[in-house]
Amino acid sequence: MKGRNFAWLIVISLLLGSLAPGALGQKLTLADVPNPKVWMEGEIGRYGGTLVVGQISDPRTFNPIVTQETSSSIPLAYVFESLVTRNLDTLEIEPSLAESWSVAKDNKTWTFRLRRGVRWHDGKPFTADDVVFTWKVIFTPGVQTSARDVLTIAGKPVTVRKIDTYTVQFRTPDVFGTFLDALAGVPIVPKHKLEEAIAKGGAEFNKTWGVNTPPRELVGTGPFVMQQYIPGQRIVYLRNPNYWVVDKKGNRLPYLARFIILIVPNLEALRLKFQAKETDIHAFRPREYAEAKAGEKAGNYTVQERGPAAGTEFLVLNQNPKGIKPPKLNWFTNVKFRQAVSYAIDREAIANQVYGGRAAPQYGPVSPANKFYFNPKVRQYPRDLRRAEQLLAEAGFRKGADGVLRDPEGNPVEFVLSTNAENSERVAMGNIIRQDLAQLGMKVTFAPEAFNVLVGKLVGTFNWEAIIIGLTAGPEPTTGRNVWHSSGSLHMWNPKQEKPATDWEAEIDRIFDQAQTTIDPKKRKELYDRWQVIVSEQLPLIYLTTPLTQYGVRNTLGNVRRSPYDFGQIWNGEQVFYKQPYR
């Protein structure tokens, strides 16, 4: 008797359970969006609450096409979206406004099916017209956008045409291996709001949707709607009630009711605000790690350690005959000289003194944060003064009895090292490097200067000897083409070459040309693995260290997962929730 009732209980529970959305793997759906995107990672949250975060600078514009710095692009990233997006947990491209796509056999024709039911914040439907319009805006002469450069291959633009209301087709002039990565950075803007503006021409369009625009005009498709902007103080967003993303149970996201970005121009004040619980998420600097951990209990937060940062810092020696003359040109163009310098640099001292121990030595151009492309098999340069001296001796350099290193012609090795004085970390690194190289007998004069002066020398006069500087990086190395291709204007050690000056630079050119037209990421990885090995052997840029990231996240928050590639944005903001009723 009891057994039979129990069995019925089980059957009925299973039946009821299967009615729950998503339980039997049924498709989750919303009344207005037949095929919403489902967040697979993370927990199910609760609705409500206001998340407050801080940023250092004011946004400069609210026009997503025209933004050039993160202080503007991050606030807009919550409002505007692209056809595809990069999931920063997996670092893979995922559908966003487009729900699926296919590429034809010629690898040049991409067809995207757009998500139905997506609406702009003012209620109008998102359609193919908006995508075509966005393309028109990007390629209108006079519009100041970096998107145009990204979508132009060998002078020819990527074109788009509308197939039907929810389908668009792109044609790339050549096989565009990283087309999806490029698309992830192009925000789609509403035709019905910006038609008039673009009709007035590119120059006028640049001024459209400036920071003096009433926020209700900034109509996007994103999880948050900008409600208010008080210059110099804060940006306030409200939840988008028509958002097209759901959690695993079918609940429409975002969970948060309100989202606020405070503008706090001072790093110390920003940190104090986090510790005083005025903001709930904060990116600590590496040397603040110990303090951050110590304050966890009192501040009710946890320090999320998310691994190495995405960018790189390096020392570059000038190999440009237009900017530097023999004998210095002869030293810097000698690979053994550069390798000796790399062996002499005490990267551990840099990690300890500049980053409080929270940094690891870096030898190649890709940071370990790039889990897919990072090649650990690059040549390593653990500190070894004897090896450095040996290499110098092989190159004909001799250290005299007076301790001065001299080249084969007898010239003493002396040069000027520079960096931008505003960056205190680079200045500290410069001092350490200067002392390290002094042990080899090199006389290095360290002279930091203003950022503008440095840039003028790097890309204008080429009149410099050695510089410490860094580069930010995205998950796709192709975006660094301007740095690595010998014809690039940011090929710092010898820019804008008419033809490659060395064999290895020619090989790197071939790698980047080929990678650009390789669609399969695994084949791209093979090419980039080789690139990283070449760079670690030839050392046009002598990499130093990569700092680790550490983020403070209040314990009352759920689903916050920062990434070194988020550049300050709470990239999964629609998933974030407060575990208890707000404050």
Interaction site with other proteins (CB under 8 A):
50, 52, 60-61, 63, 66, 68-69, 142, 144-146, 148-150, 203, 206-207, 210-212, 228, 230-234, 236, 260, 262-266, 268-269, 272-273, 275-276, 278, 450-453, 455-456, 458-459, 471, 479-483, 488-490
Using the minimum distance from each CB to other proteins, give the nearer residue, 360 or 453: 453
Give the shortest CB-161-to-other proteins separation in angstroms.
Answer: 25
Would you say 65 and 150 are in contact if contact means Cβ atoms under 8 Å apart?
no
User: How far apart are CB 36 and other proteins at their closest, in Å?
Assistant: 31
Decide: residue 507, CB within 10 A, 0-12 exposed, 13-18 middle, 19+ buried.
middle
Q: How far is the CB of 557 from other proteins (least distance, A)?
A: 17
The CB-of-210 to other proteins minimum distance in angstroms stands at: 4
* Total H helices, total E strands in the chain: 19, 27
Looking at beta carbons only, is 458 or 544 nearer to other proteins? 458
Helices (H), 184-265: 191-199, 202-207
Q: Residue 401 has which token pair?
A: 């009895």
Identity of the residue, 453 or 501, whose beta carbon is nearer to other proteins in the bound complex:
453
Which is closer to other proteins, CB of 166 or CB of 205? 205
Segment holding 519, helix H or strand E: none
Whole-number minimum distance, CB 62 to other proteins, in Å?
10
Query: How open is the CA angle 230-205-83, to the nearest 5 degrees?
Result: 85
Tell me the HSE value of 301 on the side-chain side, using a 13 A CA sphere.
Answer: 27
Minimum separation from the CB atom of position 276 to other proteins (A): 5
Nearer to other proteins, 182 or 466 (CB): 182
Shortest CA distance to 537 belongs to which of 489, 496, 505? Answer: 505
For other proteins, the closer CB: 51 or 391: 51
Answer for the pair 551, 380: CB distance below 8 angstroms, yes or no. no
Contact at 8 Å (CB) between 14 and 23?
A: no
Question: What angle is formed at CA 429 by the lines to CA 424 and CA 432, rounded to 5 degrees?
Answer: 130
182-to-37, 152, 254, 448 alpha-carbon distances in Å:
21, 10, 26, 36
Cβ closest to other proteins, residue 63 vs residue 532: 63
Q: Nearest to residue 354, comparing CAs of 422, 285, 434?
A: 285
CA distance 249 to 256: 17
- CB atoms inside a 10 Å sphere around CB 416: 13
- Residue 120 gets which letter from DSSP? -
How far apart CA 468 and CA 171 sit, in angstroms, is 41
Q: Which is nearer to other proteins, 183 or 442 (CB)?
A: 183
Closest contact distance (angstroms) between CB of 49 and other proteins is 13
Q: In angstroms, what is the minimal distance from the CB of 479 to other proteins? A: 6
Nearer to other proteins, 41 or 291 (CB): 291
The closest alpha carbon to 36, from 107, 117, 122, belongs to 117
Please answer whether residues 97 and 83 qualify as being in contact, where contact means their C-beta atoms are separated by less than 8 angstroms. Answer: yes
Supply the minimum distance, in Å, between the C-beta of residue 239 and other proteins.
16
Q: Which is nearer to other proteins, 29 or 152 (CB)?
A: 152
C-alpha 434/C-alpha 133 separation (Å) is 54
CB of 258 to other proteins, least distance (A): 9
End-to-end CA distance of the chain: 52
CB neighbour list of residue 457: distance below 8 Å, 6 or more residues apart: 418, 463, 464, 467
- The nearest distance, CB 310 to other proteins, in angstroms, is 14
Q: Which DSSP state fits 460?
A: I
- Closer to other proteins at the Cβ: 360 or 490? 490
Stretch (H or E) spanning 436: helix 424-438
> How far is residue 98 CA from its own chain's centroid?
22
Q: Are 384 and 348 in contact (CB under 8 A)?
A: no
CB of 550 to other proteins, least distance (A): 20
Q: Which is nearer to other proteins, 413 or 473 (CB)?
A: 473
